[in-house]
Structure 1
Amino acid sequence: MHHQNIKITVLLFVLLEVSLLFGQQKPNIVFILSDDAGYADFGFQGSTEFKTPELDKLAKKSVKFTQAYVSAAVCGPSRAGMLTGQYQQKFGFEENNVPGYMSSSGLLGDQMGLPTNQLTIADYLKKQGYTTALFGKWHMGNADLFHPTKRGFDEFYGFRGGSRSYLPYDKNNVLTKNEDRLEKGFGNYLEHKGYLTDKLANEAISFINKNKKTPFFIYLSFNAVHTPMEATKEDLKYFSHLTGKRKTLAAMTLAMDRAIGTVLDELKKQGLDKNTLVVFTNDNGGPSDANQSNNNPLSGTKANHLEGGIRVPFLMSWPGKLKKNTTYNYPISTLDLFPTFLNVANGNSSKLKQLDGVDLMPYVKGENKERPHKVLFWKKENRAAIRNMDWKLIRFPDRPAELYNIKKDISEVHNLAYQYPKKVKELYKQLFAWELTLERPLWQLRREFEGYAAKRMDAYKKTNTK
């Protein structure tokens, strides 16, 4: 009897230990970001031209957000907002940081980067016991002081700049910018073999294998499908029905989709899939002129504040926690990623008063029936936009402001500014009041590029819903 009691006591103790272990187990977080993809260029977004079987499978396991927004229409500022959970204009990161294209009135070259007084989500997740890694594009500054390993990431494999070749640099593919060099860790430069999209996924898989016993955060920041337009012959063969850049883009998208699938398969192979939060989204709207991306039914492109520049595909999967194959239809922002990630890691985002994003979990779980955001803002120099509930005002430097009801007019073809002048005035003042809280831009593109942006917008601005 005595021995039986001891056995029962030991068994209960083991069960208690196991219960505590699993009860305290923090979820892994895998954040996958594509670059310059078109809103409609995925199967789960309705494309019949492109093949994205892996992301389509993920969509069936996910909550799909139908009104997901980035905080900027170009990649650098958009990523700064994601990483900090704040409107990036608050700390002067209003414009893309592209050496060689900037006005001499601000910071130049490698001086441009995410200010070092701004902590990233990786900084905060490290404090929660996470091992953190970035694979791919950084674009938060080329100088050593901005390096990912000094901004919260334990591991880095990628490049510091905003775009680069998918093929290794050599005598036949000449490197022209130092920030394009492929780097492992800090200062270890060595070009890859094969196609970069595949290599980034392989590095993520290796990281998962090494860190499967502790919670980890992966920021898988593909440069796909940003220019240059480079695809493998094998992938191009799948798209004989397409031609030109559109064909190449489809092949590049397929390669990225396949790479994502290998990472998700590895999570499942290691038994980690059920305890991993996976998010997939894009950094801004597709630049239809540069890569023939399709943003339908949205108007506009990358680099403007029409929906086609700022609304993005967005999937969130967490088995057992979020209902699979569902949609969430209120507007959200990629600023919400920071507080969402922090809170699922047992952090407390409510203590961080600087955040503009919100924790999405209470909303997608149905615990909070309100909108995550009643108001969202965008700004780049004189151009700006505000969305208040379903009303959206866009301010331009070269024409009167335009007003749209986004719920009724997703393609922004019916300008209501002259029908509702009081609403225009109200939103104009609300937008300006927000702008008064912002820092001056630390750097800006040369003024001539504003003219190019206006022409680009006009070229892809819809005039009807077809």
Structure 2
Amino acid sequence: MKKILVLLFLCFHAIAFGQHKQPNIIFILSDDHAYQAISAYGNKLIKTPNIDRLAKSGTLFNNAIVSNAICGPSRAAFITGQYSHKNGYKVNDGVLDTNQRFLPQILSENGYQTAWIGKWHLGSLPKGFDYWNVMPVQGHYFNPDFINQKNDTLLYHGYVTEVITELTKDYLNKRNPDKPFFLVVGEKATHREWLPDLQDLGAYDSIKFPLPTTFYDDYKGRIAASKQLMSVGDAMTIKTDLKINQPFGEKVNVSGRAAKPAIKGKEIEESMIRYYQQGEYSRMDSLQSKAYRTYYGQLSKAFQELHLTGNALKEWKFQRYMKDYYATAKSLDRNIGEILDYLDRNGLSENTIVVYASDQGFYLGEHGWFDKRFIYEESLRTPFIIRVPKLSAMKDKKLNQIISNVDWAPTILDFAGVAKPGFMQGKSFLPILENPEIKNWSKEGAYYHYYEYPGPHYVSPHFGIRTDRYVLARFYTGTEAWELYDLKKDPKELKNIIEDKNYSAIKNDLKKKLKALIIAYDDKEALKVFNQNL
């Protein structure tokens, strides 16, 4: 009987996704966009109508998590389907080994044309894509440089999110219409230092954002949390992050679309560093810099007249952070709408799967922080919304099953009707899209491992397990400690119950599950730490 059910599932799967016409797939991947910054996830103060539009026509995951909450490693997990210790990209600003097989190569071998446009941020240049046009290093918000597969570096005039959208539409116009496509749209927004488009300056200035209840967290019982350097009050800078008394230069004067001379070979890496070090504001044209000088000049004058100190200064910084962050996200949402409109106008919506996700979560003042890195919820969880036209029953659905970014590649292959290769460690979650009633999808829990230390924010390396109810973490280097949280009773993760005798049995069970995952995923570094007595 079991074999018959398996055969029936496989037959249905082949009919839905592989037998007739492989679906197109667009994966929109933003940067540092928090799930709690999206109205579809419950934010009532701001509006993200186009991300919401995608959610209403598709499925929203409430428990989409990442395996390493930092930008580059998250992207590496996406295109390899592997954890950081296997794909070799553990920390930011490394160089991804391109000798390994990536998702786009496998799709290309199975009839797809593949492309990546926008932010790449993996050190090496893209491999396995038929077409790519990516920004050096982090990229710039205004008049960004792009490098294409011909090793040409071009400067595009305009605001980065709009430039990426235009390049995306240009690619879609020129692609082979007789072949399915897999396209990653890599957005720069909402990465630090949160520079809004000109039309969005001041978009949320009328709102006073409520201070998170954990903003003045004392980190009692959580040593690693107390040692970080990512607080809005202390680590966020007035001049660089919040643009107060910032001189907005005019060293670059561009109009229309301009191109720099082509560069090749080793010069590419050197140019990436050089262009990034020029700074954001030196790239602005006169119109852009004038708008920024006017808007932030007025804010600077008002700030100087306040003479703020102590908690009043911290709370002022929080308000400015929120206003700039959400204003930057406004263009992101608007341009997602542009892409969705393009699909509608060109008859592509009926056979194009669209995904929206961020590379990880982000702190919007919770625990007094910005940035990410920790296994804690606001950092661990990422927005993940998917619209699959052939699964019309999944419109406007919200699912609570845990999925990880190592699962993204296997799922995409599943949509394309391609078998997952043995090296991928994630698993396809197409079955729960087809049957959302599946329970205990990740009963063993999801695995997490963060490595970068000291880095810019002094977050201690740690690994752990996240289940439907609990988080267990082992910190090492910088801080040596175990932490345990009951998400049902303590959703804000304020009470470390690792020494609570009432949770002894749960702690021991979670440790067994964590060790099993470490062994299953062959994380030798974690196993060595796990086996130490602490």
Q: Residue in 2 aligned with 1:165?
A: 140
The residue number in structure 2 matching 1:247 is: 323
Checking the alignment, whether the CA contact within 8 Å between 1:393 and 1:404 is kept in structure 2 is yes
1:294-341 Cα deviation digits (max 9, x unpaired): 669x99850111111110111010123241001111111121111111
Find out whether 1:416 has 2:497 as its counterpart. Answer: yes
Helix, strand or coil: the match of 2:36? coil
Report the counterpart of residue 278 of structure 1 in structure 2. Answer: 354
* Structure 2 residue 509 is matched with structure 1 residue 438: no
Matched, 1:132 2:114: yes
What secondary structure sits across from 2:466 in the alignment? strand
Instruction: Decide which of 100, 110, 113 is 1:118's aligned counterpart.
Output: 100
Q: Relative to 1, partners in 2 of residues 1:300 and 1:403: Cα closer, same or farther, differing over 3 Å?
A: farther
Report the CA distance between 1:49 and its aligned residue.
2.9
Counterpart for residue 277 of structure 2 = none
C-alpha distance in 2, partners of 1:371/1:202?
42
Query: Kindly tell me: are residues 239 and 300 of structure 1, through their superposed partners in 2, closer, same or farther at Cα, counting changes over 3 Å?
Result: closer
Letter in 1 for 2:182: F
Question: In 1, Cα distance between the equivalents of 2:147 and 2:464?
Answer: 37
Q: Is the CA contact (8 Å cut-off) linking 2:80 and 2:87 kept in structure 1?
A: no
Contact kept, 8 Å, 2:102 with 2:128, in 1: the verdict is: yes
Structure 2 counterparts to residues 72-83 of structure 1, below 5 A: 72-83=68-79
Describe the shift of the 1:376–1:422 C-alpha distance in structure 2 as closer, same or farther (beyond 3 A): same
**1:329 aligned counterpart, secondary structure:** strand
- Within a 5 Å distance, the mapping from 1:9-408 to structure 2 comes to 24-97=20-93, 112-141=94-123, 146-148=124-126, 151-161=127-137, 163-168=138-143, 181-211=145-175, 212-242=177-207, 244-286=320-362, 288=363, 293=364, 302-322=372-392, 323-349=394-420, 352-366=421-435, 369-374=438-443, 375-381=445-451, 382-397=461-476, 398=479, 400-408=481-489
Indicate conservation of the 8 Å contact 2:76/2:87, yes or no. Answer: no
Structure 1: state its 5+ residue gaps. Answer: 1-18, 98-111, 170-180, 442-466
Measure how far apart 1:405 and its partner are: 2.7
Corresponding residue for residue 9 of structure 1: none
Distance in 1 (alpha carbons) for counterparts of 2:378 and 2:510: 21
CA contact (8 A) 2:202 2:323 kept: no
User: Could you tell me whether the CA contact under 8 Å between 1:406 and 1:412 is conserved in 2?
Assistant: yes
Q: CA, structure 1 residues 27+435, in 2 after alignment: closer, same or farther (shift >3 Å)?
A: same
- Between the aligned residues of both structures, percent identity stands at 32
Going from structure 1 to structure 2, the CA distance change for 1:47 and 1:119 (only over 3 Å counts) comes to: same
Of stretches 243-252 and 270-279 in structure 1, the one that deviates more from structure 2 is 243-252
For residue 40 of structure 1, give the secondary structure of its aligned residue in structure 2.
Answer: helix
SS in structure 2 at match of 1:356? coil
**Offset at residue 152 of structure 1 (A):** 1.2
Q: Deviation string for 1:169-195 (max 9, x for gaps)?
A: 6xxxxxxxxxxx421333111111110
The 3-state SS of whatever aligns with 2:98 is coil
Letter in 2 for 1:427: L
Give TM-score scaled by structure 1 length: 0.76
Partner amino acid, structure 2, of 1:147: L
CA change 1:346–1:294 in 2 (3 A) is farther
Provide, for residues 228-257 of structure 1, a one-character-per-residue CA deviation record: whole Å limited to 9, x for no partner.
Answer: 321123112432314523222112101011
CA contact (8 A) 2:361 2:383 kept: no
Aligned partners of 1:38 and 1:294 also within 8 Å? no
Structure 2's unaligned 5+ residue stretches are 1-14, 208-318, 452-460, 527-534
CA contact (8 A) 2:373 2:450 kept: no
Q: CA deviation at 1:122?
A: 0.8
Distance 1:134 1:86, change over 3 A: same
Secondary structure of residue in 2 paired with 1:239: coil
Structure 1: how far apart are the matches of 2:121 and 2:419? 28
Distance 2:441 2:95 in 1: 29
Distance 1:128 1:434 in 2: 31
Task: Pick closer, same or farther for the CA change 1:237–1:420 going to 2, 3 Å.
Answer: closer
Closer, same or farther: CA 394–23 of 1 in aligned 2, 3 Å = closer
* Partner SS for 1:308: helix
Report the CA distance between 1:432 and its aligned residue.
4.5
1:439 Cα deviation after fit: 5.9
Secondary structure of 2:481's aligned partner: coil
Q: Is the 8 A contact 1:31 1:279 kept in 2?
A: yes
> Are the equivalent residues in 2 in contact too, given 1:40–1:294 (CA < 8 A)?
no
Q: TM-score, normalised by structure 2?
A: 0.67
Deviations 1:382-412 (A, max 9, x none): 4111124533202223253121233444322
Instruction: Assess if the C-alpha contact under 8 Å between 1:84 and 1:120 holds in 2.
Output: yes
Letter in 1 for 2:384: F
